[in-house]
Amino acid sequence: MEHPAAFALTLVVCLGLCDAAPTTPSSDDHQIAEAYLSQFYRDPNTTESRGRRVNLPDFENDLKAMQEFFGLEVTGKMDKNTLEVMKQPRCGVTDVARFGHFQGKPKWKQSVVTYRITEYTSQLSQREVDATIAKAFQLYSDVIPLDFKQIYSGTADIMILFKAGYHGDFYPFDGPSGVLAHANSPGPEQGGDTHFDEDEKWTLRPQGVNLLLVAAHEFGHALGLDHSQDRSALMYPTYQYINTNGYKLPQDDRLGVQALYGVRTPTVKPDPKPEPKPDPGPSPPEPCNRDLVFDAATSIRGELYFFKNEHYWKKGFYSGLSTHKIKSTWRSIDSVDAAYEFKGRDITFLFKGKQYWAIRGSTTLTGYPKPISKFGFPSTVKKIDAAVYVASTGRTLFFVGSKYWSFNERTAKMDAGFPKTIWHNIPGIGSKVDAAFENYGYLYFSDGAQQTEYDFGSKRVNRVLLNYGWLDCY
């Protein structure tokens, strides 16, 4: 069976030498050029046949092909400009079609393509990687009638991993600043599979290697796109950082992928008969108020939720800030006193008064509400002020007045010796907690409008903030 075509994004670093490249190339420069042309401008299938050499490489003609592709002066001779282009970050797929799949226009036949991330990078949180990979796929699903769905077990259409060196295919990675990633063309078995070199410095910023841009480029190959000679295109061979804030698929890439899959058109629904507008109820609270006090706060599936009266603000990694009415998401709940997420079970608990609900995303689980006494609280506890799950300990902390309880999620029992006094046992956060949540390894405890960023392991205050700073207020 023929192995699926694989495409790699490579990074060649100038290290300050590009501007000093000599007019007459050195032996090192010639070796760089020979390796570059061998990888990107020669078809290895034409240099050997049944053990004997045929069509020996022609350095001058290969160099001319490279210079023509990049719009350089076509001389067939090494010069400073040609060497500089060779040293730029770029995708590792050849610029001379090596596989027949480009002419055959391979593509996914189904309308929903699944993907699964089996190994994550240690340089970004799992939440950041999930959100970035989803955003990269969304760049395409926004313009073609193809949807992408992340799954968490079994074999997906596109399997994704971060790993260094040899990682189970024919294309081992080569350490930092070389091949960044590679992807297979659409098809069965390994078709579409995408691998990222864990030796690279993966970031979401201009520094290092921007994961969104690399992933979007590789997914273009996984969808069947070839390279483009348009310098503004995502599929241009060389990697370069551009501002990813509000990034959309460039026109050249959009036209290319739409030629394969067609154009996504919005579903047009008939205008419903006008109905009397319902009473909107209380207006949403003002977010940019320095005196803002949260009722509760928690993360839910990678996004932050801040509750106030009958409303909540949702802050997403890419989707930004939005305001919602609580009952519009969870019909049986109109306000929230406390909330926490237990990621291991993909469950979030919302508390109001002496009752609590279990939710998954926007779905309220059956059998709720239940009394808070199920957690082991005495009848004297009428409401929970705040709650937060501490992953490093496997405990959920519940705050009531000036005291707090510790609940063991594994045994589903309260720890012995509680409640304890907040100010004495969690020094630096004050004597009461109105809202609490975890974000990127820190715990955040709100007392009134003020908030403490806290390292729970070392019992150390990192900094003091104001609640309204989370709501895009400057």
Catalytic option among 128, 198, 200, 218: 218
Q: Name the nearest CA neighbour of 93 among 39, 32, 38.
A: 39
What sign results for the dihedral spanned by CA atoms 99, 102, 105, 108? positive
Distances (CA, A) of 128 to 16, 33, 183, 318: 32, 37, 21, 10
**Segments of 132-212 assigned E as strands:** 147-150, 158-162, 179-184, 194-196, 202-203, 209-210
Which pLDDT belongs to residue 195? Answer: 94
For CATH 1.10.101.10, list the domain ranges present in the chain.
18-86
**In which residue ranges of the chain is CATH 2.110.10.10 found?**
296-471
Give the pLDDT of the chain (474 residues) as one tens digit per residue: 334 455 666 553 332 333 333 456 677 888 888 888 887 776 554 443 333 333 446 788 888 888 888 888 889 888 888 888 888 767 666 665 433 334 578 899 999 999 999 999 999 999 899 999 999 999 999 999 999 999 989 999 999 999 999 988 878 888 887 778 888 889 888 889 999 999 999 999 999 999 999 999 999 989 998 888 888 889 887 788 999 888 999 998 999 999 999 999 876 656 666 656 555 567 788 888 899 999 999 999 889 999 999 999 999 877 788 999 999 999 999 999 999 999 888 899 999 999 999 999 889 999 999 999 999 999 999 999 999 999 999 999 999 999 999 999 999 999 999 999 999 999 999 999 999 999 988 999 999 999 999 999 999 999 999 999 899 876
- Alpha helices per DSSP H over 51-172: 59-69, 80-86, 101-104, 126-141
CA dist., res. 303 & res. 254, Å (int): 29
Helices (H) and strands (E) in the chain, counts: 9, 29
Mention every residue, 6+ apart, whose C-beta is less than 8 A from residue 424.
none
> What is the fold of 296-471?
Hemopexin (2.110.10)
Three-state secondary structure call for residue 388: strand
Whether domain 101-261 has CATH 3.40.390.10: the reply is yes
Q: Is the CATH code 3.30.70.980 the one for domain 18-86?
A: no
Q: How far apart are CA 182 and CA 188, in angstroms?
A: 17
Would residue 409 show up in a list of annotated catalytic residues for this protein?
Answer: no
Residue span(s) of the chain under CATH 3.40.390.10 come to: 101-261
Residue 357 has φ and ψ, to the nearest 5°, of -125, 150
